[in-house]
A and B are shown apart, each in its own frame.
Chain A
C-alpha cells in the first residue's frame, strides 16, 4: 500500500522509504546500508545540535551576537540565517531523518550481504 501523499513542498520522503522497506521493495546490501545509516545518523546529530543552538538563541532574553563567545557566535549566525532561508527545515529534518534510518535498517535486514543493490 502506498503511503499517503507527503507534503509536496517538502524535500523529505521518509514515509515513502519506510513503506518501500516494509513492503520489501527497497533492498540494500548491508555494507552500503551501513554506510548510509552512518551518514544519516551523523547528519541527524548535527541537525539536532544546530537546532539546540537555534532554540537557545530564540529563547535568549537579549539576542546580541557580540556577547557570545566567537565559537558559538558563528554557529548562531549560521543557524539563524539558514532558518530564515528555509524556516522549519531543521525541525523537519530531525523528524524525518529517523524515518530514513529506520527504513535503511529494515531494507538492510531483508538481504544477506552481496545479494542486492
Chain B
C-alpha cells in the first residue's frame, strides 16, 4: 500500500500534537517534517480563524507547491471560504467535529481527488452564487423568478380567478395598469397568455 505523505501546520502546539497523533494513527498516511512540506501530497492546516497570517501562509503554499489543503478551523465566513478555496483548500473540517476518521477521510479524498473540490464544498460555492443574486436583485425590488412584487400580486389574484377589473379594484390600480403589468410579464418572460403566466409563477413558487 502506498502511503500518502501529509504535512501539518497548526496555529498552536496542542492542535499540532493532537492532529499529528490522528494522522500517525493511520497506516495509510505518513506525516512529513515541516522542512519537507514540498514532498507532501496533502497539507493539513489548523487554525481558530482564517487570519491574515494564515491566509498569507496558504497563498505562499499554493503558489509554491499547489498542494491540496485540508483546513481545520473554528469558524469561517463566506468571504473567508472563497479565500480558502482560492488557496487550494479542498476540505474544511469544523474544529470541534474533527476525529481521526474524519481527518483521514478528508486527507484521502484530497489526495485522490485530483484537485477537484468535493460536492459539499461545491455546494457552498453555489450558495454563494445564490446569495449574490439575491443581494443584486432584492434591493431593486426584484427576485430570481424574474417577477416584481407588483407582478406577483397581480398573478396571485389572477390565480384566484379575479378578472382585470377586480384585480384593479383589489390593488387600487387602474385597469390599464393591470393590463400593462400582465403584458409586461408575459412579454418579458416569453409566456403565451395569462394562464401560462399563472402557471409560471406557480412553478417558480412565487404565488
Please name 4 further chain A to chain B contacts, defined as beta carbons within 8 Å, in addition to the given A3-B86, A46-B146, A117-B117, sorted by A numbering.
A25-B116, A28-B126, A43-B137, A93-B136
Question: Which A70-117 residues have a C-beta within 8 angstroms of B?
Answer: 70-71, 74-75, 78-79, 81-82, 85-86, 89-90, 93, 97, 100, 116-117
Of B3-11, B27-35, B176-184, the one touching chain A: B176-184
Q: Mark B88-99, 1 if CB is under 8 A from A, else 0.
A: 101000000000
- 7 residue pairs, one from A and one from B, having the closest CB atoms: A117-B119, A117-B122, A82-B139, A78-B141, A43-B133, A93-B136, A82-B140
Binding site for A on B (CB under 8 A): 59, 62-63, 79, 82, 85-88, 90, 114-119, 122-123, 125-126, 128-130, 132-133, 135-137, 139-142, 144, 146, 148, 150, 173, 177, 180-181, 184
Given the known interface contacts A24-B115, A25-B116, the answer about A78 and B132 at a Cβ–Cβ threshold of 8 Å is: no
Q: Mark A1-14, 1 if CB is under 8 A from B, else 0.
A: 11100001001110
In the complex, the chain A residue whose C-beta lies closest to that of B130 is: A39
The one of A8, A25, A79, A89 that contacts B136, using a Cβ cutoff of 8 Å: A89
Main SS at interface, chain B: helix
Chain A residues whose C-beta falls within 8 Å of the C-beta of B85 in the assembled complex: 16, 20
